[in-house]
Amino acid sequence: MSHAVNSENPMSVLTEAARTVQQRAWAPYSKFRVGAALESTEGKVFTGCNVENASYPAGICAERGALASAIASGARAFVRVVIVSDADTPAPPCGMCRQALVEFAPALEVVSITTGGQTARWSLADLLPFPFTPSSLAHA
């Protein structure tokens, strides 16, 4: 799902989109619902929620769900992601999501918000200081 960011206040658009998609999370096992809204450099917003599975490793995080939706729509570069979760303190993306996001947005702004409104901000470069990137595959 995508829609355009209102340039007046991209954060409120992203936060609202993340809150909306969080309500659709499928989290019957952890009861930990997460919504993510990823903004492309073109100003489009792509959302994802966590989708758990009875076979636990088959589940996927909200952030990678949003990324898959964005890539499938043709977006390739991103400026920020807003994550909303049920955690008591703002939850950063897991390691796998950091790795997935760095492929497309090494300098991504990561904003995490609790349902209670507590907010934290990081740069993906700080969350993943030594990323494995396409250039890591280079060999002589």
Q: Which residues are catalytic?
A: 63
Contact pick of 61, 70, 110, 113 for Zn ion (by CB under 5 A): 61
Residue 67 lies near Zn ion (rule: CB under 5 A): no
Query: Nearer to Zn ion by C-beta: 21 or 97?
Result: 97
CB crowding 16-52: b at 16 or more within 10 Å, else e: ebbeebbeebebeeeeebbbbbbbbeeebbbbbbbbb
The two three-digit tokens of residue 138, written as one number = 């280079």
E-strand stretches of 50-118: 78-85, 109-114
Residue 97 lies near Zn ion (rule: CB under 5 A): yes
Query: Nearer to Zn ion by C-beta: 61 or 81?
Result: 61
CB of 100 to Zn ion, least distance (A): 8
Residues that bind Zn ion (CB under 5 A): 61, 94, 97
